[in-house]
């Protein structure tokens, strides 16, 4: 049940901004780590493929 408040648009907007910023603080590191993990996996796969055909491993 949503409480009926005076100045409701101001109160709800404030709590909305708070929730959005907190959600971003939670999600941003997760997204960054996923991207980083994918990047490292791709590098390792490239290094493996290069080692299999006997050429030097690419270094990004």
Partner 1 sequence: MIWSTLKLWFHKLGSPPIFSVFARRVAPWLWAAFFACTLYGVYLALYVAPPDYQQSDSARILYIHVPAAWQAMLAYVIMAVLAAIALIWRIRTAEIMAMAAAPIGAALTLICLVTGSLWGKPMWGTWWEWDARLTSMLVLLFIYVGIMALYAAYDDPRKGARVASVLVIAGLVNLPIIHFSVEWWTTLHQGQTIRIFGESKMDPSMIPPLIWTTLGTKFLFGAALLDRARNLLLAQDQHKAWVRRELAPALDDRKQPA
Q: Does 50 bind partner 1 (CB under 8 A)?
A: no
How many CA within 13 A on the CB side of residue 41? 6
Q: Does 57 bind partner 1 (CB under 8 A)?
A: no
Contact 51, 57 (CB under 8 A): yes
Q: Does 8 bind partner 1 (CB under 8 A)?
A: yes
Contact 58, 46 (CB under 8 A): yes
User: Contact positions toward partner 1, by CB under 8 A?
Assistant: 3, 5-8, 10-11, 13-15, 17-18, 21-22, 24-26, 28-30, 32-33, 36-37, 39-41, 43-45, 48, 59
């Amino acid at each position: 049940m949503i409480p009926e408040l005076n100045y409701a648009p101001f109160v709800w907007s404030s709590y909305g901004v708070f929730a959005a910023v907190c959600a971003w603080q939670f999600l941003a590191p997760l997204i960054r780590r996923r991207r980083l993990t994918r990047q490292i996996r791709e590098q390792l796969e490239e290094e493996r493929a290069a080692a299999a055909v006997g050429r030097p491993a690419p270094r990004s």
